[in-house]
Amino acid sequence: AQKVTQAQTEISVVEKEDVTLDCVYETRDTTYYLFWYKQPPSGELVFLIRRNSFDEQNEISGRYSWNFQKSTSSFNFTITASQVVDSAVYFCALGGTSYGKLTFGQGTILTVHP
């Protein structure tokens, strides 16, 4: 069975601080995909990144960066110089061979204070 754990339920930071959201996953599949989604207060799910299991390169997109470590089954997300607009719920998710199903973590509520 697949499982995703986001151990941080809530994180509160002050603007301009860096923040890392942790994600640990479990799967027996050798080919799988990892995702991060952002859910702002308006409620929609915003796709941030997809990474497949064969690509362990870290990725940077502006203030966002992702660290994929297969050895520790982790796919952590860092926001550099956080801004108030980053306040949202962030979900890590795992996809594999099961007809497009995603297994989501519990979500991390990030609050960035001015």
Candidates 41, 47, 54, 71; binder of another protein (CB under 8 A) is 47
Is residue 105 within the footprint of another protein (CB under 8 A)?
yes
Contact segment (CB under 8 A) with another protein among 16-24, 69-77, 80-88, 92-100 equals: 92-100
Confirm or reject binding of residue 44 to another protein (CB under 8 A): yes
**Under the criterion CB under 8 A, does residue 64 sit at the interface with another protein?**
no
41 part of the interface to another protein, by CB under 8 A: no
Query: What secondary structure, in 3-state letters, does the chain show?
Result: CCEEECCCCEEEEECCCCEEECCEEECCCCCCEEEEEEECCCCCCEEEEEEECCCCCCEEECCEEEEEEHHHCEEEEEECCCCHHHCEEEEEEEECCCCCCEEECCCEEEEEEC
| By the rule CB under 8 A, 100 interacts with another protein | yes
Which residues are at the interface with another protein (CB under 8 A)?
4, 6, 9, 31-33, 35, 43-45, 47, 50, 52, 91, 93, 95-102, 104-107
